[in-house]
Structure 1
């Protein structure tokens, strides 16, 4: 059992803020085992959802805390996101899809008023075709987004809401309160 007084207050406050907003009903959120070698203090959340047409999106959000700070972070906290989302074939071969994936993140941060510095990341598009026992009727296409940024302080509730919005966008979920024909909200 961890002695709570040994955990830095800034990290405890950051975790509390990160877990305070509830995601929309379509998103399943779970605490994950965080990576241990990236920083002295770590915490991780996982999210899964399925949008209209069966579009799946899964993501991880990792909170890193180094009380000494790291120069490339420009602070003592760092958020790292990894997202994987199915893509329809027409988007998989569109040259602007990488920018679309990146805009899901930057748009979510902006719309949730989540301030940040030192934002960087990559978007990777891939297609795969299964053969033999792994045969698939059609090639499968997906987008992977990996990014990290530094929040100015431990008030991370806006960043948590941005994470929820990122996952929603990647799955193609409509904005909260908007119904798409043939799509039923969770009960």
Structure 2
């Protein structure tokens, strides 16, 4: 077996593991095209919390990408890397909370730790976005949003990392663990469909 075929076999096993993960009913996950040129092997997934029939989610969305590069890029500190994104709209007053970014990052760390999803070389940003509509968008009022972009080098089973990401996306959307099927408090999202 050549090094290339060994890497391909390792990645195929990782893909199989990730594709076997089942998610809570509030989160719809599907495969999307992987980014090109980042790594020789990649698998990308998108998740939407309680999407509308059109496929949009007024609650939150996310992306999970597993990358594999047998040359072990120095910043990764290994042959595998996970890149994750999660985003959710917020009440404007929550968006002004000075600790929101720290709390968002801690939710990711807690989700990984609760699943014993070992990792190293983590990095990322948590971004708060506040908006106010003007002109024809004035009726939309004030808005806020939180975005988390993170990457880390996983150790151990990849499905635990995917589970942790799924929990994070739901947490940002206002749906903590065990809340499947429960209404989001005040249905606080600007939902043009309902």
Question: By the TM > 0.5 criterion, same fold?
Answer: yes
Distance 1:142 1:117, change over 3 A: same
Using structure 2 for the length normalisation, give the TM-score: 0.82
User: How do 1:62-141 residues align onto structure 2 when only pairs under 5 Å count?
Assistant: 62-141=65-144
After the TM superposition, which of the residue ranges 55-64 and 170-179 deviates more from structure 2? 170-179
Give the Cα–Cα distance (whole angstroms) in 2 for the partners of residues 47 and 86 of structure 1: 15
Give the Cα–Cα distance (whole angstroms) in 1 for the partners of residues 58 and 173 of structure 2: 5
Size of the aligned set, in residue pairs, is: 176
Deviations 1:116-172, CA, capped at 9 Å, x for gaps: 01011100101122223333431110011000000125x211111111111111111
5+ unaligned residues in a row in structure 2: which ranges? 52-56, 186-194
After the TM superposition, which of the residue ranges 78-87 and 172-181 deviates more from structure 2? 172-181
Give the Cα–Cα distance (whole angstroms) in 1 for the partners of residues 170 and 47 of structure 2: 10
Kindly indicate whether structure 1 or structure 2 has the higher relative contact order, using CA contacts under 8 Å at least 6 residues apart. Answer: 1
Give the Cα–Cα distance (whole angstroms) in 1 for the partners of residues 120 and 85 of structure 2: 18
Give the Cα–Cα distance (whole angstroms) in 2 for the partners of residues 179 and 113 of structure 1: 26
The answer for the alignment partner of 1:30 in structure 2 is: 30
The answer for the alignment partner of 1:165 in structure 2 is: 167
Give the Cα–Cα distance (whole angstroms) in 2 for the partners of residues 7 and 118 of structure 1: 21
Q: CA deviation at 1:6?
A: 8.9
Instruction: Extract structure 1 runs of 4+ deviating beyond 6 A.
Output: none
Distance 1:179 1:149, change over 3 A: same
Give the Cα–Cα distance (whole angstroms) in 2 for the partners of residues 63 and 81 of structure 1: 9
Using structure 1 for the length normalisation, give the TM-score: 0.85
SS of the aligned residue for 1:99 comes to helix
Distance 1:30 1:69, change over 3 A: same
Q: CA deviation at 1:107?
A: 0.9
Give the Cα–Cα distance (whole angstroms) in 1 for the partners of residues 39 and 89 of structure 2: 31
5+ unaligned residues in a row in structure 1: which ranges? none
SS of the aligned residue for 2:103 comes to helix
Deviations 1:2-37, CA, capped at 9 Å, x for gaps: xxx697111111111222220100101010111012
